[in-house]
């Protein structure tokens, strides 16, 4: 799914901003100028759907959790508004009660569902929607059951019910603006980056210290609250509600559809989708009337299918491709900027800081995968400013050890303790705990946030230290310069070569300013020049006082970098010591090359 | 006791109905790994076709299967070829979900355009008469559905395990790339599988149409339960779908009788959510990868 940057601060900005402002102005002014009842109705409906779809997009787009049950929150808002109004409470208050209830329901409902992915999440949301519909039908005393609920006809601003259409348009328009503002705020701040990062690669986001469950729960709560407020408004506008209409699957699908057609994950895509599609289908319905029962739904369905096939990134995606082609030349020029090499100036080795106290202690780690003993009584420690090489043949359990010392796997027994900033040893459990203690890791199989730019990828890491967007951006740029990634700052991560991706992996962790760095085969599969650069890079990182554990197969790197090497074979440590001693150890030779070779040597 | 047995018998019959509807859905998911949100609308299309054949040509509804099943096969194959195939390499699954959701919306409303909002009753040809089986009474047509569902499960399992094409299908289901390397035409297998899955729905439509009134929204009515059944049985497992269907049938019937007919759906979906959250792999499904590290 394409992901739009918060409109880049280039010449594109005024044009895009002007477009949005013009569209918003048109949405409000056209009906006022024409003054026709039907036109008013269409534009109120546009505002309603644009608002709902924008709210949906916070969950479905930014967080990537495809909800087909959003009518649930809309319905809750509608019922809260009507029930309270009939008790004599103004819908302006009911609106917030509905929003609160919807946010609560959203959190309770979503928490277990976040384990599900793709179609399963969608199915679960549909099931919840159905449960709500059935419950609304069942509790007649509260909801009026299948007969529905009529609002008491009390007119005026206080009751949100009007004879004329203009006030309704003002409210719908206002609520839509609120949704857009919230969506914009989220997308351009830390939360938005965290949501998109979680969507793209959950484990990498967790390694970057993102509390993935928490940020998504915030997103659904906000999204549900906004949808509920629009639900209250719409109930007042319709003056009558019933379970079949308020908790409808096809209504949920429409909400999601406008976002898809406009551009999922973009801020203004849902607005665009609703503004284009609602009038077409409403006019078709108005013109053809009852003879063409189902026509507008048919059009929706066909448009959805066509959009998915030919324009999966929506209108915004198409617009972007168009503008990118036009400004392509300029971008090239920007990209050809100065390459700041990561190479460290050849300094004398004596300048490096001395190896200090222990910062990580790993004791008796044991882990079984079924009958396989992947890690057997592994103990070692890491000192400040030290580079510890972790080598061993394939399947020796190196990555498993990494997963256990970064919180991604729990050992069956044994402990991992990390020195905190106050000088005490802590026992972190989750990836979040490890990140908080300054442990950063990379992944053997690179895990870039593919749809984000290089800069944004690094910013996700930088947000761990800097809450403000501008600070994070600044820190990310600095890190990018150090890693030699500066020329690609605005390129999407998916376009990088494998060497670039490995460097990005390191850059993202470095932006978190870790004290302990776990590098999982950052040199595998990259060319000689890049290996030499990576070696320099690691040395320069070490010189800032960071301790490093590196899993590596590239022996040239292991030998020249490591202060100490641990050899793992079949889950056990078979040797430990200075690099040059270790490679001559008969056990190590046997582990890599087999018994026969080891015998042949002696 | 009599009542209880009757409720259980009704549950079993309902289970047979759910099974015959769900088998095609689980087959398609198991092989192509796509959840067909338009599955219910395939059923609806098949039922309308059965209705037209029986009323226009005066055939027995069961006889219409010779037309309906091949027609649905073509519908399924075309859907795969034109809609799913181009999206299989899509970066995320959302597009695939939207594709079949869009197809579903279009089909429901197309039916509404053609047949209107009225209900179409397929002639029952005596299938709605009840027969006495020991202490319980059941509808003749329901019994046939249960038998057909069981036979279909056995038949499909035989096809998938004992024939060359079946083995190719299973190979593709387990590892698309490896199957391709072994010289299997993966795209053709997908088209074939979607067709077979849809043809199963065709069979189901001819069996169901005489018992249930057909309308444009009948698919939505059945498909949600079919999803529950398929997830309970383990997505992709054909015997699992059968067992899941019987369980859900019994649950539906018992809950409807002892808790209240208007809440039975809430009970069924409640169970669905519990399974989905606690054991998303279902009873017989292979373990789903919920998260992966490096």
Instruction: Give SS3 for B187.
Output: helix
Mean pLDDT of the region A77-106: 95
E-strand spans in chain B? 130-133, 136-139
Which residues, numbered 146 to 175 in chain B, qualify as contacts with chain A under a Cβ-Cβ cut-off of 8 Å? Answer: none
Chain B residues lying within 8 Å of A399, measured CB to CB? 294
Whether A146 shows a pLDDT value over 80: the answer reads yes
Domains and CATH numbers, chain B: 2-278 (1.10.3470)
In chain A, domain spans:
38-250, 356-601
B228 interface with A at CB cutoff 8 Å: yes
Pairwise CA distance, residues A339 & B21, whole Å: 62
CA angle (B219 as vertex; A54, A45 as ends), nearest 5: 30
CB contact under 8 A, B102 and A302: yes
B230 interface with A at CB cutoff 8 Å: no
Q: Lowest mean pLDDT of A164-173, A416-425, B89-98, name the range.
A: B89-98
Residue with tokens 């397929």: B122
A123 interface with B at CB cutoff 8 Å: yes
A135 interface with B at CB cutoff 8 Å: yes
CB contact under 8 A, A264 and B91: no
User: Which residue does chain A place closest to B264, by CA atoms?
Assistant: A134
User: Which residue does chain B place closest to A206, by CA atoms?
Assistant: B293
Predicted confidence band of residue B65 (pLDDT cuts 50, 70, 90): very high
What the block records as the tokens of A458 is 């690094």
User: Which residue does chain B place closest to A304, by CA atoms?
Assistant: B102
pLDDT of residue A6: 43
CB contact under 8 A, A294 and B265: no
B105 interface with A at CB cutoff 8 Å: yes
pLDDT tens across A3-37, in order?
444 444 444 567 888 889 999 999 999 999 998 98
Beta-strand relationship, A425-426 and A413-419: antiparallel
pLDDT of residue B288: 43
Instruction: Give SS3 for B166.
Output: helix
pLDDT of residue A345: 44
Which residues, numbered 521 to 550 in chain A, qualify as contacts with chain B under a Cβ-Cβ cut-off of 8 Å? Answer: none
Helices A91-113 and B264-278 pack at an angle, to 10 degrees, of: 50
- Minimal CA–CA distance to A391: which of A521, A514, A513? A521
CB contact under 8 A, A128 and B273: yes
What the block records as the tokens of A353 is 């800081």
Top CATH class of A356-601 equals: alpha beta
Asked if this assembly's ipTM is beyond 0.90, the reply is no
- Minimal CA–CA distance to A64: which of A250, A228, A243, A201? A201
A116 interface with B at CB cutoff 8 Å: yes
CB contact under 8 A, A118 and B101: no
What the block records as the tokens of A3 is 């992901």
The average confidence (pLDDT) of chain A is: 86
pLDDT of residue A318: 83
* Total beta-carbon pairs less than 8 A apart between chain A and chain B: 167
Chain A residues lying within 8 Å of B291, measured CB to CB? 202-203
Nearest-CA distance B109 → chain A (Å): 4
User: Which residue does chain B place closest to A403, by CA atoms?
Assistant: B293
Edge to edge, the sheet with strand A372-383 lists A372-383, A358-369, A413-419, A425-426
pLDDT tens across B149-200, in order?
999 999 999 999 999 999 999 999 888 889 888 889 999 999 999 999 999 9
Instruction: Give SS3 for A418.
Output: strand
CB contact under 8 A, B94 and A1: yes
| Closest CB from B105, B260, B277 relative to A301 | B105
CB contact under 8 A, B106 and A116: no
Beta-strand relationship, A439-441 and A516-520: parallel
CA A106 to chain centre: 18
């Amino acid at each position: 799914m394409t992901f739009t940057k918060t409109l880049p601060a280039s010449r594109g900005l005024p044009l895009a901003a002007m477009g949005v402002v013009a569209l918003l102005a048109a949405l409000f002014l056209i009906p006022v100028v024409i003054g026709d009842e039907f036109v008013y109705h269409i534009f109120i409906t546009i505002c309603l759907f644009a608002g709902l779809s924008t709210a949906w997009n916070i969950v479905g787009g930014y967080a990537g959790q495809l909800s087909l049950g959003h009518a649930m929150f809309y319905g809750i808002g509608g019922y809260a508004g009507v029930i309270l109004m009939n008790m004599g409470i103004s819908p302006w208050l009911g609106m917030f009660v509905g929003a609160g209830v919807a946010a609560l329901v959203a959190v309770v409902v979503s928490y277990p569902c976040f384990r599900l992915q793709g179609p399963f999440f969608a199915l679960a949301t549909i099931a919840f929607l159905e449960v709500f519909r059935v419950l609304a039908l069942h509790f007649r005393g509260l909801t009026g059951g299948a007969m529905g609920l009529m609002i008491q006809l009390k007119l005026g601003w206080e009751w949100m019910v009007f004879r004329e259409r203009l006030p309704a348009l003002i409210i719908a328009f206002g609520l839509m603006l609120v949704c857009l503002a919230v969506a914009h705020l989220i997308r351009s701040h830390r939360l938005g980056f965290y949501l998109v990062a979680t969507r793209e690669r959950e484990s990498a986001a967790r390694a970057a210290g993102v509390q993935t469950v928490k940020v998504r729960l915030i997103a659904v709560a906000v999204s549900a609250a906004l949808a509920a407020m629009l639900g209250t408004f719409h109930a007042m506008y319709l003056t009558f509600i019933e379970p079949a209409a308020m908790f409808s699957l096809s209504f949920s699908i429409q909400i999601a559809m406008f976002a898809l057609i406009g551009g999922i994950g973009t801020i203004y895509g849902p607005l665009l989708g609703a503004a284009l599609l609602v009038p077409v289908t409403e006019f078709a319905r108005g013109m053809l009337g009852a003879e063409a029962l189902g026509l507008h739904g048919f059009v929706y369905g066909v448009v959805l299918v066509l959009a998915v096939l030919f324009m999966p990134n929506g209108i915004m995606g198409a617009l972007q491709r168009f503008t990118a082609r036009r400004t392509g030349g300029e971008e090239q020029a920007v990209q050809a900027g100065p390459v700041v090499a990561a190479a460290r100036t050849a300094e004398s080795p004596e300048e490096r800081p001395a190896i200090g106290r222990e910062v990580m202690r790993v004791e008796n780690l044991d882990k079984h995968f079924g009958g396989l003993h992947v890690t057997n009584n592994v103990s070692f420690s890491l000192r400040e400013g030290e580079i510890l090489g972790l080598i061993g043949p394939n399947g020796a359990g190196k990555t498993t050890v990494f997963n256990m010392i970064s919180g991604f796997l729990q050992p069956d027994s044994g402990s991992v303790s990390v020195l905190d900033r106050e000088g005490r040893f802590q026992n972190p459990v989750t990836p979040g705990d490890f990140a908080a203690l300054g442990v950063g890791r990379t992944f053997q199989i690179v895990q870039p946030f593919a749809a984000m730019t290089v800069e944004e990828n690094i910013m996700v890491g930088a947000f761990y230290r800097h809450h403000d967007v501008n600070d994070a951006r600044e820190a990310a740029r600095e890190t990018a310069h150090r890693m030699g990634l500066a020329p690609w700052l605005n390129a999407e991560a998916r376009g990088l070569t494998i060497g670039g991706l490995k460097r990005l992996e390191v850059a993202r962790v470095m932006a978190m300013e870790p004290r302990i760095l776990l590098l999982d085969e950052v040199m595998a599969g990259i060319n000689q020049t890049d290996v030499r650069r990576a070696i320099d890079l690691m040395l320069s990182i070490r010189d800032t006082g960071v301790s490093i554990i590196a899993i590596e197969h590239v022996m040239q790197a292991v030998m020249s970098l490591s202060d100490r090497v641990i050899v793992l074979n079949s889950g056990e440590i078979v040797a430990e010591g200075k690099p040059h001693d270790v490679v001559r150890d008969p056990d190590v030779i046997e582990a890599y090359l087999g018994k026969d070779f080891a015998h042949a040597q002696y | 006791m009599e009542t209880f047995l009757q409720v259980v018998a009704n549950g079993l019959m309902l289970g047979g109905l759910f099974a015959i509807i769900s088998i095609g859905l689980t087959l398609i998911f198991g092989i192509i790994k796509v959840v067909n949100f338009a599955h219910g609308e395939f059923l609806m299309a098949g039922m309308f076709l059965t209705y037209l054949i029986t009323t226009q040509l005066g055939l027995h509804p069961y006889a219409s299967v010779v037309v309906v099943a091949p027609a649905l096969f073509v519908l399924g194959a075309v859907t795969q070829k034109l809609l799913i195939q181009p999206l299989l390499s899509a970066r995320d699954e959302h597009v695939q979900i939207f594709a079949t959701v869009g197809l579903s919306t279009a089909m429901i409303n197309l039916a509404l355009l053609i047949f209107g909002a009225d209900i179409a009753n397929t002639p029952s040809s005596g299938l709605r008469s009840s027969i006495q089986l020991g202490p319980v009474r059941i509808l003749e047509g329901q019994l046939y559905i249960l038998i057909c569902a069981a036979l279909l499960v056995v038949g499909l399992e035989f096809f998938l395990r004992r024939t060359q094409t079946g083995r190719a299908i299973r190979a593709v289901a387990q590892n698309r790339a490896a199957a391709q390397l072994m010289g299997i035409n993966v795209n053709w297998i997908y088209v074939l599988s979607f067709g077979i899955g849809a043809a199963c729905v065709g069979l189901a439509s001819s069996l169901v149409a005489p018992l249930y009134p057909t309308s444009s929204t009948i698919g939505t009515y059945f498909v949600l339960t079919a999803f529950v059944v398929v997830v309970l049985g383990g997505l992709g497992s054909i015997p699992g779908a059968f067992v899941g269907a019987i369980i859900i049938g019994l649950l539906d019937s018992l809950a409807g009788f002892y808790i209240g007919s208007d809440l039975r759906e809430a009970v069924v979906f409640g169970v669905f959510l519990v399974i989905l959250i606690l054991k998303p792999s279902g009873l017989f499904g292979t373990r789903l990868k919920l998260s992966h590290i490096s």
